[in-house]
Structure 1
Amino acid sequence: MTSVLAAFIGVVGALGGTLMGAWMQRRATLEQIAAQERAEQRGQLRADRSASYAEVMDASERFIASLDDIVAARRESAGPQGPTSGWGQMREESRTAMRRLRRAIWNVRVAGPEDMADLAKELYDVNMHRFKIAFDETLTFAEMDEQLRHENSEFRRMRSRFVAGAQRILGNGGGPSP
């Protein structure tokens, strides 16, 4: 009887150990799957953020190019011949660039974090102010050029803050944004 009882206890112990091992293995597997899903989500979020930040920079650069065209046209027309006739097209190109920048800001709002969306909005605001100066026909070329010079330094400062913030968020350099 003792041998049968010992064998029974051994079988129950082995079965219990097997079940406990299977349960622990299942739990470890589920934890590993959850950790992998979290890592994939973080990777996708990082990729989405990177793309939205790059979109802001690209749209901003497109605006800069359109603004350069405006300044060149105003420089050429600063003489006795007066304003250029191609301003309508240049204004529309700048507006298109600003619309792209505004859409890019919404993508940053979605991808986050909120402070990056705020920096992108500040970049938009500086660019919008530059747009208004460039098309202000009440300003002489010299006045416009002087005001744009000031705003250009503000734009560079805002762009640097945006880039530093993006680097901080993406984890590829840059300290905390000022």
Structure 2
Amino acid sequence: MDQGVAAVWAAGLGIAGTLLGAFGGAWVQARTTRAQVVHQEWAEVRLRIRDERRAAYAAVLEHYDRSRQATSIVLQYRTDHGVRHTEVPEDLRRDERVAVETFQRAVMDVAIAGPERMTTLADEIAAAIWDRVIAVANGQLDYEARVRDYNNSTTRGMNARIAFVEEARRVLSAPDRPVQ
């Protein structure tokens, strides 16, 4: 009987070990698969965020340049014709207004896409554009003062643009996953 009991115990332990190995292996594989799926989803979200940020940052730069061009055209018209801002043809003023409003929407997209430092830099560019628009439209200033304010706002805007591009490169070049 001792050999029979030992055989039963051996068979029982063998079956238990087989079952434990099978279930344990399946459990480890399920955990590994789940971790891979989570990592893949995280990587896809990170890539989507990067693409959205890239588009938002590019839109700010594009619409900043369009706003600068539109304000330059209005100032040039005022200078060439010696007229007040309200005497500039409506189509030129409308183009300026649309360019600046579109630029403001692009700045808002950066505020949504983030991070906060990019929002701050986009706001600095926007402040320079608004100062530029005010310099062009200001009827209280003589020509020299208007040009001085215009040039100062242009310089501030270009410096803010440079800082924006540098920070955008840093934000967009961040690794997709933390280094482990």
TM tier relative to shorter chain: 0.7 to 0.9
Please tell me whether the aligned partners of residues 127 and 155 of structure 1 are also in contact (alpha carbons under 8 angstroms).
yes
RMSD: 1.7
TM-score between both structures, scaled by the size of structure 1: 0.87
Alpha-carbon distance, 1:88 to partner: 2.8
3-state SS in 1 of match to 2:68: helix
Q: Report the equivalent of 1:76.
A: 80
Moved over 6 A (4+): none
Greater RCO, 1 or 2 (C-alpha within 8 Å, sep 6+): 2
- Tell me, which stretches of 5 or more residues in structure 2 are unaligned? 175-180
| Alpha-carbon distance in 1 for matches of 2:89, 2:161 | 27
Larger Rg computed on CA atoms: 2
How much identity, in percent, do the aligned residues show?
Answer: 29
Number of positions where the alignment pairs a residue of Structure 1 with one of Structure 2: 169
Alpha-carbon distance, 1:146 to partner: 2.5
One of 20, 31, 34 as aligned partner of 1:30:
34
Please tell me whether the aligned partners of residues 71 and 133 of structure 2 are also in contact (alpha carbons under 8 angstroms).
yes
Alpha-carbon distance, 1:4 to partner: 2.7
- Tell me, which stretches of 5 or more residues in structure 1 are unaligned? 173-178
One of 67, 86, 94 as aligned partner of 1:63:
67
Please tell me whether the aligned partners of residues 63 and 98 of structure 1 are also in contact (alpha carbons under 8 angstroms).
yes
Letter paired with 2:19: L
Alpha-carbon distance, 1:71 to partner: 2.4
Q: Report the equivalent of 1:175.
A: none
| Alpha-carbon distance in 1 for matches of 2:68, 2:166 | 20
3-state SS in 2 of match to 1:139: coil
Please tell me whether the aligned partners of residues 74 and 88 of structure 2 are also in contact (alpha carbons under 8 angstroms).
no
One of 132, 135, 143 as aligned partner of 1:130:
132
Q: 146-155 or 15-24: which moved more? A: 146-155
1:43-74 per-position Cα deviation (integer Å, ceiling 9, x unaligned): 11111111111111111111011012112212
| Alpha-carbon distance in 2 for matches of 1:3, 1:75 | 107
3-state SS in 1 of match to 2:138: coil
